[in-house]
């Protein structure tokens, strides 16, 4: 808006009409005092100021305007009868624009000047807006940085208070922060603790995680700085989103005592099962002798007891074998002797031995799927052990039902062997755990004997054959346990 200040209403009228005809918005004041009041109240893009006015002349008005910070940049065009010396009014009026138009006013000249000042005003205004927006942005960023800093400080305080060794690193694996405990294992805040020569390298494992974006969890032995040897630690590193970038937080948790206890338990299991095996083998041999002797006498009533003792000895034997297997798996010593063999023969052997040991059962065993002539590559004895385990479980957990099915199906590049029973089944939320070591489904563990290690051994055997093992089941609906084996025979296999 443009303010016209003139004591002569005729002048105001003609100027107002002229400006309005060019689409400018116009306000008017008839004296210097009125002008000052309006200028303080409203914002004007330009003031057209008559110099000769009674009471307060144009120069005085201009001097006052220059004194107010709000208005000192508003451009002014003086309308004067004569070209008066203007030096004294420019004093203190350093910004904005100043110009003169002499009366009688030439409308073209005036409009030219008005337009120039108006454009100048608009550009200044736009610049001001940009500056304001920039200032706000700078302020916002400063604030965000402060908030981030305080979050990082908070995170570091948290990490410092942890009982574990803790650190942060960026997406390239460069270590950022380490807490005080770090220096128990490393003498530099930039390098990871030294690991045992037989263990995987932390940096190599971490690199894989950083690339895939997946958290890292590994057990590793790290060297203590006090020269007292290595200590087992559980290293966990997981990503946190910070400032739009993935940064990582890691901890080393001391699991040394737990690891040692586990090792002692494994050693005990291994020794105990070895020691138990020796007398058991003698008992088995003597029982066989006794069985042969007593079965010669058809009327001997004790003969049937010998058979039962042999059954129990068989169960004891397989329990001890399982315990031995567990300790072998834990020590990485479970031997797998792979050869090419007939899968049909292996399946039939497993079925024969299970039917023999369950001759009291009323369950019918059915076969589905033709695999005659199919050769696979693996450890026949260990794979038979898996199938016998599935079948033993089926007879145990589906006792009293009518049938169990062994299904063999050949797919594109794998063969699948399933044991399907119609027994108590397994609740769906427990399915993922049945292959864990010592796991037994709580709801049924009191009703059935067992150690919860058979399926764990099976999964380890199948894993070392690059196969898959799984179960499909739900409570009360029976269970289907299956394993698959790859069908590609090695070119150099015998
Ligand atoms: P165990 O039978 O000696 O307890 P396993 O490792 O063979 O140990 O089986 C683990 C658990 O899985 C069992 O305790 C049982 O709860 C469940 N399970 C295994 N097979 C079956 C099945 N066929 N039906 C229902 N539950 C089963």
Give residue ranges with CB within 6 A of ligand 1: 393-394, 397, 421, 423-426, 434, 439-441, 444, 450-456, 479
Answer for the pair 74, 65: CB distance below 8 angstroms, yes or no. yes
Q: pLDDT value at position 140?
A: 95
Centroid of ligand 1 to alpha carbon of 440 (angstroms): 6
**pLDDT (average), residues 50-77:** 83
Architecture in CATH of 2-128: 3-Layer(aba) Sandwich (3.40)
- Is the pTM value of this prediction over 0.75? no
Q: pLDDT value at position 245?
A: 74
Which of 389, 406, 420, 434 should be mutated for ligand 1, with most atoms under 8 A from CB?
434
pLDDT in tens, 284-311: 999 999 988 888 877 787 888 888 888 8
Query: 162-254, which class in CATH?
Result: alpha beta
* Token reading at 250: 């890691």
Q: Which residues of 90-102 are buried (b: 16+ CB within 10 A; e: fewer)?
A: eeebeebbbbebe
Evaluate if residue 344 carries a pLDDT over 60: yes
Evaluate if residue 155 carries a pLDDT over 50: yes
Classify residue 297 as left (phi > 0), alpha (psi -120 to 50) or beta.
beta
Q: pLDDT value at position 92?
A: 39
- Per the model's pLDDT, the better-predicted residue between 350 and 64 turns out to be 350
Evaluate if residue 65 carries a pLDDT over 50: yes
Mean pLDDT of the chain: 89
Beta bridge partners of 169: 175, 248
Centroid of ligand 1 to alpha carbon of 166 (angstroms): 40
Centroid of ligand 1 to alpha carbon of 405 (angstroms): 17
Q: pLDDT value at position 411?
A: 93
pLDDT in tens, 8-31: 999 999 999 999 999 999 999 999
Q: What are phi and psi of 70, to 5 degrees?
A: -65, -35
Confidence bin at 82 (pLDDT 50/70/90): low
**pLDDT (average), residues 377-384:** 94
Answer for the pair 179, 250: CB distance below 8 angstroms, yes or no. no
d(CA 237, CA 169): 9
**pLDDT (average), residues 102-123:** 88
Answer for the pair 1, 121: CB distance below 8 angstroms, yes or no. no
Confidence bin at 120 (pLDDT 50/70/90): confident
Delimit the domains of the chain by residue range. Answer: 2-128, 162-254, 259-330, 339-493
- Per the model's pLDDT, the better-predicted residue between 304 and 418 turns out to be 418
Topology (CATH) of 339-493:
Heat Shock Protein 90 (3.30.565)
Centroid of ligand 1 to alpha carbon of 260 (angstroms): 29
Asked if the peptide bond before residue 104 counts as cis, ω within 30 degrees of 0, the response is yes
Confidence bin at 52 (pLDDT 50/70/90): confident
Domain 259-330 = CATH 3.40.140.10 = no
Identify the three-state secondary structure at position 475.
coil
Evaluate if residue 392 carries a pLDDT over 80: yes
* Token reading at 49: 């100021």
d(CA 1, CA 130): 21
* Token reading at 34: 């009125």
R_g of the chain, CA atoms, integer Å = 47
pLDDT in tens, 189-211: 999 999 999 998 899 999 999 99
**pLDDT (average), residues 456-483:** 96
SS (H, E, C) 94-132: CCCCEEEEECCCCHHHHHHHHHHHHHHHHHHHHHHHHHH
* Highest mean pLDDT out of 51-60, 66-75, 127-136, 298-307: 127-136
Confidence bin at 222 (pLDDT 50/70/90): very high
Centroid of ligand 1 to alpha carbon of 362 (angstroms): 20
What is the atom index within ligand 1 of the atom nearest the CA of 423? 24
Confidence bin at 91 (pLDDT 50/70/90): very low
């Amino acid at each position: 808006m443009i303010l016209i200040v003139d004591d002569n209403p005729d002048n105001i009228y003609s100027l107002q009409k002229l400006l309005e005809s060019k689409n400018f918005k116009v306000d008017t004041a008839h004296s210097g005092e009125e002008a000052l009041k309006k200028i303080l109240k409203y914002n004007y893009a330009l003031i057209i100021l008559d110099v000769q006015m009674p009471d307060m002349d144009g120069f005085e008005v201009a001097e006052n305007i220059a004194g107010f910070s709000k208005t000192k940049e508003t451009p002014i065009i003086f309308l004067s009868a004569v070209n008066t010396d203007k030096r004294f009014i420019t004093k203190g009026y350093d910004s904005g624009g100043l110009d003169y138009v002499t009366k009688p006013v030439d409308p073209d000249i005036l409009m030219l000047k008005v337009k120039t000042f108006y454009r100048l005003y608009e550009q200044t205004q736009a610049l001001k807006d940009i500056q304001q927006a920039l200032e706000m942005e700078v302020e916002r960023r400063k604030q965000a940085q402060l908030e981030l800093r305080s979050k990082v400080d908070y995170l570091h305080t948290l990490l410092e208070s942890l009982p574990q060794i803790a650190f942060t690193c960026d997406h390239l694996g460069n270590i950022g922060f380490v807490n005080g405990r770090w220096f128990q294992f490393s003498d530099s805040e930039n390098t990871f603790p030294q690991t045992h020569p037989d263990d995987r390298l932390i940096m190599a494992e971490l690199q894989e995680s950083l690339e895939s974006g997946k958290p890292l969890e590994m057990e590793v032995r790290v060297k203590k700085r006090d020269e007292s040897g290595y200590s087992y630690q559980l290293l966990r590193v997981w990503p946190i989103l910070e400032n739009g970038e993935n940064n990582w937080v890691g901890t080393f948790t001391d699991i040394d005592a737990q690891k040692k206890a586990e090792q002692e338990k494994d050693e005990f299991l291994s020794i105990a099962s070895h020691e138990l095996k020796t007398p058991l083998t003698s008992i088995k041999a003597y029982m066989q002798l006794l069985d042969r002797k007593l079965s010669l006498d058809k009327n001997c009533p004790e003969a049937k007891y010998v058979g039962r003792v042999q059954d129990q000895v068989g169960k004891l034997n397989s329990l001890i074998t399982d315990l031995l297997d567990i300790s072998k798996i834990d020590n990485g010593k479970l031997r797998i002797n792979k050869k090419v063999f007939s899968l049909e023969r292996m399946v039939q052997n497993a079925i024969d031995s299970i039917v023999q040991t369950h001759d009291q059962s009323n369950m019918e065993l059915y076969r589905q799927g033709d695999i005659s002539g199919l050769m696979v590559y693996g450890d026949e004895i260990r794979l038979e052990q898996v199938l016998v385990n599935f079948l033993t479980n089926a007879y145990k957990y589906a006792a009293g039902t009518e049938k169990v099915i062994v299904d063999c199906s050949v797919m594109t590049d794998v063969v699948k062997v399933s044991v399907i029973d119609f027994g108590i089944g397994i609740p769906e939320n427990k399915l993922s755990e049945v292959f864990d070591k010592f796991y037994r489904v709580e709801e049924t563990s009191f009703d059935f004997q067992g150690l919860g290690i058979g399926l764990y051994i099976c999964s380890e055997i199948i894993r070392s054959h690059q196969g898959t093992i799984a179960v499909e089941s739900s409570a009360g609906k029976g269970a289907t346990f299956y394993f698959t084996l790859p069908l590609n025979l090695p070119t150099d296999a015998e």
